[in-house]
Structure 1
């Protein structure tokens, strides 16, 4: 018998001073049986960092992700169906990134985990031609701490200012410092 996904509900109060954007989002996320709560929370963080005002033109959506190898963790489509933004989570190989860059106007990858420096050293020279690719590293200790906020029903406040992100609930807060890996500027 196949294991079923676990459903998580999240209410995000987003205050992004870097963009300036203030919005509330009610989200339903499915935790795949092979997925960790750390990955689930990184997906939620990616949503917060890429979401717009929440209007119909924004259209940022969670996909089937791990259940479908042809889909990213999140994507944004135009109202006519054109793929505007492909958002990956984890340590993806260059073939998948190249395929995503060919399909979408913009590709963003949030890499996390202790092995990111090793993965990045192997990948860095292979992606130079991918002009619409953006890669961010989320420090492992910070994403592990973020995972402690996971609950089946979450009310989270997300604040972004000067490149730093604070995610918190009524009891605790976690600070994250995403680091740009690509493109280098």
Structure 2
């Protein structure tokens, strides 16, 4: 772990009614000194909204050959490559080929992120989904994050309801194909 990494603990009650996922999780995330709290929040949201058996965080931004979040099957083979931010087309191409399924979560304006991939070679680009949230939502969540956090996250009919340390927030979950 890098010097200056700040550890955050999240006790999460997850209820994703849209996918039928209900879990109580304790997650520890290291925040690298160059990582914004908004990026940390996006890693956390990507993990929760993609939660399934075999999901794990990578080593963070220092793991240049891994996505922010990945899913592995019982044999250790990667089955989902989940990026955060605005990865380049080559990285998405690699992840989609390696895992068979790729997804991107961003706190940026999708209209500014999507052109980054236009006309680029990306394996199964038609199957890759870009997920974002209402403007200001991620920043509001980031403002509520402390070192130790209690989170209740519910998703129903495409709407995310989140309570972070007593602060209640909500946003639509926006999903678009990258093509």
TM-score (norm. length: structure 1) = 0.87
Corresponding position of 2:80: 85
- State the distance in 1 between where 2:160 and 2:33 align: 28
Unaligned runs of 5+ in 1: 53-57
Q: How many aligned positions are there?
A: 177
Any conservation in 2 of the 1:149–1:168 contact (CA below 8 Å)?
Answer: no
TM-score (norm. length: structure 2) = 0.90
CA apart distance, 1:107: 0.6
- State the distance in 2 between where 1:122 and 1:153 align: 36
Corresponding position of 1:121: 115
- State the distance in 1 between where 2:161 and 2:117 align: 29
User: Where does 1:106-185 land on structure 2 (aligned, <5 Å)?
Assistant: 106-114=101-109, 116-126=110-120, 127=122, 129-182=124-177
CA apart distance, 1:140: 3.7
- State the distance in 2 between where 1:169 and 1:161 align: 18
Aligned CA-pair RMSD = 1.9
Unaligned runs of 5+ in 2: none
1:154/1:108 CA distance change after superposition, 3 Å: same
- State the distance in 2 between where 1:73 and 1:34 align: 15
